[in-house]
Amino acid sequence: MAAGAAVNSSIIESLKGIETIKAYSGEEKVYNRIDHEFVKLMKKSFRTVTLDNIQQGIKHLIQLISSALILWLGSYFVMDNRISLGQLITYNALLVFFTDPLQNIINLQVKMQTAQVANNRLNEIFAIDSEKSNQSFEYMLSEQLFQQDITVKNVSFSYSMKAPTLNEISCTIPSHSITAIVGVSGSGKSTLAKLFVRFYEASEGSIHYGNINHLDIPFQILRDRVTYLPQESFFFSGTIIENLIFGLDSPPSFEQIIEVCEIVQLNEFINQQPLRYETLLEEGGNNLSGGQRQRLAIARALLKNPDILILDEATSGLDTLLEHAIMNYLLNLKEKTIIFIAHHLPIAKACDQILVLHEGHLVEKGTHDELRFADGIYQKLWEI
Ligand SMILES: Nc1ncnc2c1ncn2[C@@H]1O[C@H](COP(=O)(O)OP(=O)(O)OP(=O)(O)O)[C@@H](O)[C@H]1O
Ligand SMILES: [Mg+2]
């Protein structure tokens, strides 16, 4: 079972990564790896079948020997007048009812092994903590909760047993402000962003929306009002419009959809398609360019109309003009709190506050003018 799962996951992984495999001419390596896994599976299956056959052989042999023995001994007793012929025949016929269940018990052994593996895998699933939601606080949440400041207090976080990815982060993100989180790759920017929507939970410290700890806010409400937009969003196989209104409680009007598509400058492209908004997207949006996917994801987030929008390098695939236009639109949204995670520093320049992360520590915070020549990481990032 485990070997079968390994072969399956290798095949799925290689199909998903087919472009990278082709680009790096890695077909042979991947083929060999799957071949190796397949041979392992075949060897294991062969061993299981051989074991099963040996068991069956032994079982039949015992069956034959015992019937011969019973008939031989029985005939001897009949000839000796110790039992009647009828008794021997009845005994022999009824013996099957005893030996059959016995055989079934022997056959159970292979099945037990398979069940044992399945049981281990089930236990692995039970060992995963499910997302725990605290429903009891629901009644305390006001409509205005996400229109208030976000306070991060001494937040530390580590992925499993690794060294902490975030260390004692403390900051305030004022309501309706625009904050940029910058830092070199691997400094912990995405990790911090994911803590805001509770994809992970901080090992120490807390995050408060207004005066409510975010752990006390039910997931559905939290993620309804705080939207995290990753660099690579996922699209389902379905039409453009189905993907745009995905997860919305009340579907927006067609005018609203056109409006957001105009903001992200996707209307022209959609109108060029024969089926326009009914155009089918392939799994993962593979029939769109990277930038088109990002624009569609931004449009989807805007339609959701959250109070707090976190964009994790969500405009990195756009050309400068388009990025500038979308940025300008977002900067002018006065009733939203926006957090940009940005590699592109001009985005940070236009923000009200910049948080600079370095190796999981919050090393600088301030405006562009305060940090530009502060002789810190931010200055270095500008001067690279
Ligand atoms: N799911 C994960 N499991 C284990 N470690 C992870 C996971 N995601 C990230 N990390 C580790 O946490 C650290 C911070 O990663 P993070 O993605 O937050 O960085 P980042 O600042 O967003 O980088 P980038 O600019 O490259 O996106 C990295 O060292 C990374 O290896
Ligand atoms: Mg990141």
The confidence score (pLDDT) of residue 39 equals: 93
Mean pLDDT of the chain, nearest integer:
84
**Nearest-ligand number for the alpha carbon of 189:** 1
Which whole number is the average pLDDT over 236-252? 81
Number of independent structural domains in the chain: 2
132 pLDDT exceeds 80?
Answer: no
Q: What is the CATH number of the domain that holds 204?
A: 3.40.50.300
CA of 157 to the centre of ligand 1 (A): 11
Same structural domain, 356 and 306: yes
Same structural domain, 122 and 151: no
**pLDDT tens by residue, 192-220:** 999 998 888 888 999 999 888 888 888 88
CA of 177 to the centre of ligand 2 (A): 21
42 pLDDT exceeds 90?
Answer: yes
CA of 360 to the centre of ligand 1 (A): 10
The confidence score (pLDDT) of residue 50 equals: 92
CB 189 near ligand 1, within 6 Å: yes
Same structural domain, 118 and 214: no
**Domain-terminating residue out of 72, 93, 127:** 127
C-alpha of 66 from chain center: 58
The confidence score (pLDDT) of residue 134 equals: 59
Q: To the nearest 5 percent, what fractions of the chain are helix, strand and coil? A: 55, 15, 30
**Domain-terminating residue out of 127, 151, 178:** 127
CB 188 near ligand 1, within 6 Å: yes
Nearest CA to ligand 1 atom 6: 159
Which whole number is the average pLDDT over 343-368? 87
HSE-up (13 A, CA, CB side) for residue 338: 26
Phi, psi of 251 (to 5 degrees): -60, 135
Q: What is the CATH number of the domain that holds 44?
A: 1.20.1560.10
- The two three-digit tokens of residue 138, written as one number: 């629901």
Nearest CA to ligand 1 atom 26: 185
Ligand 1 atom nearest to 160, measured from its CA: 4
The confidence score (pLDDT) of residue 138 equals: 58
- Asked if 220 and 231 count as a contact pair (C-beta separation under 8 A), the reply is no
310: pLDDT confidence band, cut at 50, 70 and 90? Answer: very high
**pLDDT tens by residue, 167-196:** 999 999 998 999 999 988 888 999 999 999
Nearest CA to ligand 1 atom 31: 186
**Nearest-ligand number for the alpha carbon of 160:** 1
CA of 46 to the centre of ligand 2 (A): 46
Which whole number is the average pLDDT over 293-322? 87
Indicate the residue type of 57: G
The confidence score (pLDDT) of residue 130 equals: 67
**Contacts by 111-114, CB closer than 8 A, 24 or more apart:** 114/1
140 pLDDT exceeds 80?
Answer: no
The confidence score (pLDDT) of residue 173 equals: 92
Same structural domain, 122 and 180: no
**pLDDT tens by residue, 148-170:** 889 999 999 998 877 888 999 99
Same structural domain, 139 and 122: no
141: pLDDT confidence band, cut at 50, 70 and 90? Answer: low
Tokens 């803590």 correspond to what residue? Answer: 195
Which whole number is the average pLDDT over 44-66? 87
**pLDDT tens by residue, 106-125:** 777 778 888 888 888 888 88
292: pLDDT confidence band, cut at 50, 70 and 90? Answer: confident
CB 183 near ligand 1, within 6 Å: yes
Same structural domain, 35 and 116: yes
Burial per residue of 258-269, b for 16 or more beta-carbon CB atoms within 10 angstroms, e otherwise: bebbebbbbbeb
CA of 186 to the centre of ligand 1 (A): 5
CA of 383 to the centre of ligand 2 (A): 21
**pLDDT tens by residue, 95-110:** 878 878 877 887 777 7
CA of 275 to the centre of ligand 2 (A): 35
Same structural domain, 122 and 259: no
CB 185 near ligand 1, within 6 Å: yes
Same structural domain, 120 and 181: no
**CA distance linking residue 377 with residue 184, whole number of Å:** 9
The sign of the dihedral angle between the CA atoms of 345, 262, 144, 156 is negative
Give percent of the chain with pLDDT exceeding 70. Answer: 95
**Domain-terminating residue out of 84, 108, 127:** 127
Give the chain's radius of gyration (CA, Å): 33
- Asked if 51 and 60 count as a contact pair (C-beta separation under 8 A), the reply is no
Same structural domain, 121 and 180: no
**pLDDT tens by residue, 314-352:** 888 788 888 888 888 888 888 889 999 987 788 888 888
Task: Quote the domain boundaries for residue 116.
Answer: 2-127
Same structural domain, 234 and 103: no
Nearest CA to ligand 1 atom 8: 191
> Which mutation among 162, 189, 361 tests ligand 1's pocket best, with the greatest number of atoms within 8 A of CB?
189
Nearest CA to ligand 1 atom 29: 186
CA of 185 to the centre of ligand 1 (A): 8
CA of 185 to the centre of ligand 2 (A): 7
> Which mutation among 158, 165, 381 tests ligand 1's pocket best, with the greatest number of atoms within 8 A of CB?
165
Same structural domain, 86 and 217: no
285: pLDDT confidence band, cut at 50, 70 and 90? Answer: confident
Structure letter (DSSP) for residue 275: T
Same structural domain, 152 and 106: no
**Nearest-ligand number for the alpha carbon of 230:** 2
Which whole number is the average pLDDT over 129-138? 61
353 pLDDT exceeds 90?
Answer: yes
